[in-house]
Structure 1
Amino acid sequence: MKPFCFADGEIIESKNATIHPMDLGLIRGYGIFDFFRSVNYKPLFLDHYLDRFITSAEKTYLPLAYNREELKQIIKELTDKNDMEQGGFRMVLSGGLSDNHFSPAKGKLFIFPETLLFPSEEKYSNGIKLLSLDYVRPIADIKTTNYALSVWDSIRWKKEGAEDALYHRDGFVSESSRSNFFIVKEGKVITPNKDILLGITRKHILQLTEKVDIRPVTLSEVFEAEEAFISSTTKILLPVTQIDEHKIGNGKPGPISLDLLEKFKLLEKENSY
């Protein structure tokens, strides 16, 4: 975490940021957040992230006291104050102090600039392993702060040498705990269309893809895919070479996945100057 954050309506030292212990974000796990990267002092695709954050606040009935331009100004001030050439910004809107300790209320807005660590080069070169998990994230189209199951399940990932989980339900896959999921079959990029967060990185990857199909994806066809990968703000595009004990394709990152990764890096450069 960087030295300065936004909390209580002003920029303060991050170590002094507080939240009431009865806030719904703590006692009910109710709140929203979003996360974006900054490159060369410029937030990448900021309007897309603000669109999602503002919409999430509306859908979760959490009052957001700042409009888009005010949020941009706060982020600009935090960038300058923390000398944020590179890194990440985490926006959090808590569930608030509720009279009945249950209904959404007026929460607190935090914006935390953070140091950002990408996965190791080895993971991009060799791919990663996912573990399938029968689960659908509640209100999946909203980036809520409720990650209880995935935090709990992460102990299993570590024991089995996996990077993350792959959620599925009734034979259909949806997403990873913090990433969107894709497969490649016959040269076409395929990604699930329901029970998912509409990722900003996912959105741009689809725009870079010539042959794409957005539709239900079965777990059985995932195991037969030629390639697979996940995408997120903090991973960009990470090849998946194993799911459970099933090798994906030839067990190595595929050409389409790697090509899209390079195309996204070029897009990032174009949007950071």
Structure 2
Amino acid sequence: MKPFCFADGEFIPTDKATIHPSDLGLIRGYGIFDFFRTVNYQALFLEHYLDRFITSAEKTYLPLPYSREQLRQIIQDLIEKNNLEQGGIRMVLSGGVSENHFSPAEGKLFMFAENLSFPSPEKYAEGIKLLTLEYVRPIADIKTTNYTLPVWHSVHWKKLGAEDVLYHWNGWVSESSRSNFFIVKDGVLHTPDQHILMGITRKHILQVADQVVIRPISLEEVWDADEAFISSTTKVLLPVTQLDDRPVGSGKVGPVTMGILERFRELEKSLIS
């Protein structure tokens, strides 16, 4: 964590940030957040992240007391105060202190500047393992702070050498706990369309990929896929070469996956001056 954050309407030392013990974000796990990267002191895909954060606040009935322009300026000031050339910004809007300790109230906005580490080069070169998990994330289209199940379950998957999980329900896959999911079959990219968060990295992968089909994907199709990968802000695009105890495709990172990763990185470079 970097030394300065935004809280209580001002920039303060990060270790001085506080939240009321009765805030719904604490006692009910109710709140929203978003996270984006900074490259060369610039927020990458900022407008898309602001779109999602503002929409999440509206959908969760949490007042957001700042305009888009004000949020933009706070973010830029925070980057400068922390000399954040390469890193991340985390925006959090808590559920607020509610009279009945249950209904959404006027929350508290925090912004934190963070260091950011990508997965190891070996994971990009060799791929990762996912574990299947029968689960649908509540209100999946909103980026809430409710990650109780994957945080608890992560102890299990780490013991089994897995990077994360792949959610599925009634035979249909959706997403990973913190990432969107894709498969490749016969050179065509496929990605689920239901019970998912509309990831910003996913959005731009769909733009740079050659052929994409957005549709329901069955768990059986994943077993039969040629390639698979997950995408997120902090991973960009990470190949999946094993699901449970079975290899995906050849068990090696595929050419379509690596081609999309290369094009995504070129897109990033074109956006940063």
Give the match's secondary structure for 2:15.
helix
Structure 2 partner of 1:221: 221
Match of 2:15 in 1: 15
The one-letter amino acid of 2:253's match is: P
- 1:232 counterpart = 2:232: yes
CA RMSD of aligned residues (A): 0.4
**Structure 1, gaps ≥5 residues long:** none
Residue 34 of structure 1: aligned partner: 34
Q: Alignment identity in percent? A: 70
**Letter in structure 2 aligned against 1:212:** V
- The equivalent of 2:179 in structure 1 is 179
- 1:210 CA displacement: 1.2
1:140-181, Cα deviation, whole Å (9 max, x unpaired): 000000000000000111110000000000000000000000
SS in 2 for 1:116: coil
Give 1:201's aligned residue.
Answer: 201
Are 1:135 and 2:114 matched, yes or no?
no
SS in 2 for 1:175: coil
3-state SS of 2:175 partner? strand
User: Given residue 131 of structure 2, which amino acid in structure 1 is its aligned partner?
Assistant: L
Query: Who is 1:94 aligned against?
Result: 94
Give the SS at the match of 2:156.
helix
Cα distance in 1 for partners of 2:50, 2:205 equals 19
**What's 1:79 paired with?**
79
- Distance in 2 of aligned mates of 1:94 and 1:24: 7
Find the counterpart in structure 2 of residue 169 from structure 1: 169
1:81 alignment partner AA: K
Shift of 1:47: 0.1
Equivalent residue, structure 2, for 1:51: 51
How far off its partner does 1:246 sit? 1.4
Q: Write the distance in 2 (CA, Å) between the matches of 1:79 and 1:183.
A: 36
**Aligned-partner residue type, residue 216 of structure 1:** P
Equivalent position of 2:266 in the other structure = 266
> What SS does the corresponding residue of 2:52 show, helix, strand or coil?
helix
Structure 1 residue 102: Cα displacement: 0.2
Alpha-carbon distance between aligned partners in 1 of 2:177 and 2:239, rounded to the nearest angstrom? 16
Provide TM-score, normalisation by structure 1. Answer: 1.00
C-alpha distance in 2 between matches for 1:247 and 1:224: 10
Give the aligned partner of residue 120 of structure 2. 120
Distance 1:16 1:217 in 2: 46
Name the CA distance, whole Å, in 2 between partners of 1:43 and 1:271.
10
Alignment partners' CA distance in 1, 2:114 and 2:272 = 18
Cα distance in 2 for residues equivalent to 1:79 and 1:88: 9
Post-superposition offset of 1:212: 0.5
* Residues 102-136 of structure 1, C-alpha deviations (whole Å, 9 max, x = no match): 00000000000000010000000000000000000
Which 4+ stretches in 1 moved above 3 angstroms? Answer: none
Letter of the 1:198 partner, please give it: M
What is the Cα deviation at residue 272 of structure 1? 1.3
Task: For 2:83 and 2:214, locate their aligned partners in 1 and report how far apart those are by CA, in whole Å.
Answer: 40
Deviation at 1:271, TM superposition (A): 1.0
- Post-superposition shift, 1:227? 0.1
Q: Secondary structure at the match of 1:76?
A: helix
For 2:80 and 2:203, locate their aligned partners in 1 and report how far apart those are by CA, in whole Å: 29
Equivalent residue letter for 1:140: A
TM-score, normalised by the number of residues in structure 2: 1.00
Q: Structure 2: 5+ residue runs without aligned partners? A: none
Q: C-alpha distance in 2, partners of 1:170/1:67?
A: 41
Q: Distance between the aligned counterparts of 1:67 and 1:260, measured in 2?
A: 35
SS in 2 for 1:138: coil
The count of residues paired between Structure 1 and Structure 2 equals: 273
Displacement of 1:232 after TM fit? Answer: 0.1
* Superposed counterparts of 1:54-65, under 5 Å: 54-65=54-65
Shift of residue 245, structure 1, vs aligned partner: 1.0
